[in-house]
Structure formats: structure tokens, C-alpha cells
Chains A and B, each alone.
Chain A
Amino acid sequence: MALQYTKEQKMLRALVKEFADKEVGPRAAEMDRNESMDPTLLKMLGDLGFMGLGIPVEYGGAGMGMMEKSIVVEELARKDAATAEVMSVHNMAYLAILKHGSEELKQKFLPIAAKGGIAAFALTEPSAGSDAAGVQTTAVADGDDYIINGSKCFISNMGPQEGSFVTVLVSTDPSKGSKGFSAIVVERGTPGFTIGKREEKLGIRAADVSELIFEDCRVPKANLVGAEGKGFGYFMEALDSGRIGMASQALGIAEEALDLSIEYLKVRVQFGKPLSKQQGLQWYLADMGTKVEAARALIYEAASDMDRGDPVGKIAAIAKYYASEIGVQVTDKALQLHSGYGYMRDYPLERMYRDARIIPIYEGTSEIQKIIISRELLK
């Protein structure tokens, strides 16, 4: 069935496109150089309602679905992958609370997120990356509280500048392995919770990615999401949404790289004619365009499946795997087509090329996506 966008979705795309052109694009190079998001931009994203995209209206959000989230992330990523990353991770990070949290937890945290308080989601540890079951951070019950000890690394949306609260995957019963994992919400500023090193990265440099340290961090039991021992499932479920979001980010970068290349090939004259008249280079464009359209089809198929309530484990993994790989390939080829100009910092491709490289790594590496896909195929 051909994908049909609703009138509202078309309008949303028009809004994000305009916003990205006017507000995000002009800030992108400087935010990358300064390794920090512009707070004015983050405030605008909150004020316009982007941060509450998937939060129900009763908690101050817009109650929209994965299709809308993909549209927003894709269009933002065209102009700045770091902005798109903050948005994408944020709109995934509150999902565990939204789907499984108590009413008290929802009332407390969802309105904060909808207004622009940035949400984070902490799974990865020095010893638990692709093998998420290796989580060693513990939470021990003590009266009405949990006491959390351990550390998380490479955590997006929680750093020196960003982050209001973080849902942390902890072990509440180390004897049960991943069946003993629980999800607990920790607010910024909670005693015992500190932000460690802010990572210096190849790309998406404006976005905070940091180490989180928990030392006898006391959190009320009311901050437990859902039931003890269910945290691993909640995180894996949220990651399905996160994967479609990150695939959309790769798509946005690839689309923009393609558009820049088309424009450049038309105006760059060598050997007496525009580069666009060289068949060898036309074929590059054809390959790039084909990859972009295939990624788009996969992403919006996955997003509409999710909005219908269909299982998306396989299609989300396929979309993430494919889009993130072609994001790297298309920006690489676009840089080659721009040659010297593409390599220079004066032009956006240099940044886009660096930004695209994270996507086959985070929210599950390409290799992990292939494990998920093949497991589904062999079922």
C-alpha cells in the first residue's frame, strides 16, 4: 500500500522545513564548532511543541505518533544532525514512563518533558554496550528509597548543559541477570548523581554525550517505572522507536547531501561543461537517489506499522540498519563529488560526513541490527 501522509503530517513537514531552514541551518556550523547547542534554539523547540510530540495532550504534549516523529527528525537532520539527535533521543527517553510509569510518575515528568525539559535514557555501561544484559549498576531497596551505585557511559541528552531527568537501567536483583533489571527515573541534581566526562566526538558535537556516575544516589521508590525486573523489556521496547528515529536522522542527512550534490554538479563547470553532464557522475547521483528513496520507504513503513500497533522489531531494525549505512555512503559520495570544497569546513558536507558516522553505531550497531533481523527471519 502506497504511503499516504495526512494533511496534518504534510503541514507538520512544512513547519519543520521552514523552521530548520530559518533557525537550525544558520546555527549548525557554530554549534558544531562550539560543541554546544544554542539554548535559544532548544527553547524554541520546546515552545513550538516539538519536545512534547509523542506526549498525550493531558500531560501537555501533542499526542502524535511515530510518523510525525520521523518527519520532524528527518527535516531537522537535513540542517543539523545534532539538533535532530537531541529531539529523537528525547522523544524516545520518556517512552518507558509514558507506557509503564505510574500516574504519579507521568504527572511529574511528562509535563516537564513536554515543556522542553530534556529527557535522557541510560543503558550503556563500560561493560554493557551491544550486550545490554551486562548492566552492573545496582539499585538496592532501603526503606522508601533505592540506593543506586554504578556508572553509565556515552549517554545522550545528559551533560553539562542538557538534561532534566534520566531513566536509568539498573539491576535490582543481580542473581536474575537481565530479568533482574529495573528502570528508575533520576532527576538532575539528585545528591549522589553526578555528570562525569562530556565526550569529545567525531560528529554530532553540539549534542551532550556524557558519563553518568551514581554514588549512593538515593531515589524514592516512587521513581521506579512499572515493576521491578521488567526494565530490560521497557528499554528494548523504547529502542524500537529510537531506531526508527535514528534511521530518520540518517535519511535527513543523506537527503541533504544528495540535494547539495545535485545543485553543485549543475553549477560546477570542468572540461567546458557542468559536472552534471558527465555520465559517470550522473550514475553516482542515481545510486544516491535510489538509496535515499529506499531508506525513506523503509522508515515510513516502520513508523506507520508502529502507529497501527503492529510489531516492528524486524522492520525497525531493517530501517535502522539500511538508513544508517546509506547515510554514511551517500555523504561519503557527496563529499567526493564536492571534492576539495566538500572537505573544507566552510561547507556543510564536512560536518554532515562526520555526523552521519555515528548512526551505524548508536541505538544498536549495524551488527546488532543484523542479529535482530536474522533472528526474526529464522523464527
Chain B
Amino acid sequence: MKAIVCVKQVPDTSGKVAVNPDGTLDRASMLTIVNPDDMNAVEAALKLKDETGCKVVVVTMGPPPAEGMLRQLMAMGADEGVLVSAREFGGSDTFATSQILAAALNKMGLDPDDVVFCGRQAIDGDTAQVGPQIAEKLGMPQISYVADIHKEGSVIVCKRMLEDGYMMVETQTPCLLTCIKELNQPRYMSILGIKDCYTKPVTVYDYNALKDDPLIDPTTIGLKGSPTNILTSFTPPLKGVGMMLEGTGKSTTDQLVGMLAAKHVI
């Protein structure tokens, strides 16, 4: 039994965000963190490991330095890492990314009792699409916005959060769950985990490793295979300076109405 977690390295939003001329993010020049929702997915997988002794495999698609993030997750307790990395995969949108990650999961091989965990969404794109797309492409049941998980053998029951309540959903493994921050509190790395994390295996899946999968085709991966076109990226201009009108009398109201009228708001 495996708990597989798809994770993404995202820009640290407390730092500076840089954009390439083609509108994509200049990831190499930015400080990065593990996508926050993905940390909840990792914690969910580690809890399953604590309960069942299963193996936890963390998977990411990204440039070679993303291995550092996989090591960090191994220091938390993950057993293996898979780094999906190739020039051909660069510039992928959510459609292309899910093609590639689904192919990577095919390559790893899903057993009947495996569970795939994803974060709800990444803080850079905020699409919440990659997890559900992977499940669709693998023909696997999925439960999104998961806030509680119970697994009994091959049956999984989850609490799925909605805007106005929640629903309880039951499904069979193998399945894919997308996790929200209410699910758990991610653990810290441990000292022993740090000591051992560089001795654990990380496998790199390059283009050649995945190219025979029917999901991998030049028209379905990378920037060329991405239906999303970014027309323009820009930093929103700062808003103008606000103005406070002091006073409670009619003259202040008249002043306000006058200003709004002058700007054709009313």
C-alpha cells in the first residue's frame, strides 16, 4: 500500500515575484516554499503511514532544485521521492501538468489500496484543477476539499467541505483526495528525519521515462501542449491615495456628494 502525494514548489509570497517575458513565472529567481495545501496533503499521508505502516511517496514536477523540497518532505517522514523533470515538460498549464503527473503515477503503478493525495490548490495559480484532472485521466474516483479522512481497508470515507456545509462521501481505493488546511496541522521535520533524508531514494522521471505513456504527446505537454494562453501578466498598479472627510454635518455630506458627482459616480 502506498500513499502518494503530489506536491508543488511555489513562490514564497512573502518575497518578490518575478515574471518571464512570455508571461510565465520566473521560478528560478524566486524564493520557494512547499505549497501550503500540499503540506496538509503530506500530513494526511504521514498520518496514514502512522496508522497503517504504508509507504509514503512524494511526487513533484519541476526543475532539478525541486529535489530539495522532496528532501524536506522526507525529513518529515516521507519514504521516497519522484522528481518529474524535463525541458519538454516546462511551461505546462494545469491540463499538461495533469497529463504528465498522471503518466508519472502510471509509471509508479497504482495498487488497489493506494491513495493519492493532492493539495486543494496552489497559491501561485489558484486553479484547484490539477488534482481532479489527474483523477479523471486515470479513471479514478476523487473527493475534493477533504477536511476529514477515515480509511477502512479499501473503503475511504471523507468529509467534503462545501461553502454552506459539508457532505460525507464514501469511495473505494485507489482514489484521489484533495486536501484543505482544515484537515490537519502539518508536522515539523524531525532531527532524525533531517539526518536520514539524503539517504532515501529519489527517482527522476525525465521525458524518456514517460514518453511511451499514451498521455504523453508533444501536443499535450509543455508550453505547446497547454491550451491556456497568458495574454499578459502585470503587477497591479497601486491604488490612489484615499481621502478622509471629517465631520458629521450636512456640509460634509454635500462635500461628498459634490466630489462623487464631479467624478461622475452619481
Interface residues of A (CB under 8 A from B): 7-8, 11-12, 14-15, 18-19, 47-50, 52-53, 57, 62-64
Contacts and interface: CB of A to CB of B under 8 A. Distances in A.
10 contacts: A7-B71, A8-B198, A11-B71, A11-B197, A14-B72, A15-B191, A48-B191, A49-B190, A53-B191, A64-B195
Contacts, number: 40
Contacts of A19: 188
A62 B188 contact: no
B189 interface: yes
Nearest to A49: B191
A310 to B, nearest CB: 23
B188 A63 contact: no
B198 A49 contact: no
Nearest to A19: B188
Contacts of B190: 47-49
Contacts of B197: 8, 11
B194 A12 contact: yes
Given A8-B197, A8-B198, A11-B197, A62 B192 contact: yes
Nearest to A47: B190
Nearest to A7: B198
B75 interface: yes
Q: 7 tightest CB-CB pairs across the interface, nearest first?
A: A49-B191, A62-B191, A15-B189, A11-B194, A49-B190, A49-B192, A62-B195
Interface of B: 68, 71-72, 75, 188-192, 194-195, 197-198
Contacts of A18: 188
A314 to B, nearest CB: 30
Contacts of B188: 15, 18-19, 48
A44 B188 CA distance: 10
B72 A12 contact: no
B192 A11 contact: no
A4 B170 CA distance: 51
Nearest to B191: A49
A50 B189 CA distance: 11
A57 B195 CA distance: 10
Nearest to A53: B191
A11 B191 CA distance: 10
Contacts of A15: 75, 188-189, 191, 194
Contacts of A57: 192
Contacts of B72: 11, 14
Contacts of A50: 191
A21 to B, nearest CB: 12
A20 to B, nearest CB: 11
Contacts of A11: 71-72, 75, 189, 194, 197
Contacts of B198: 7-8
Contacts of A52: 191
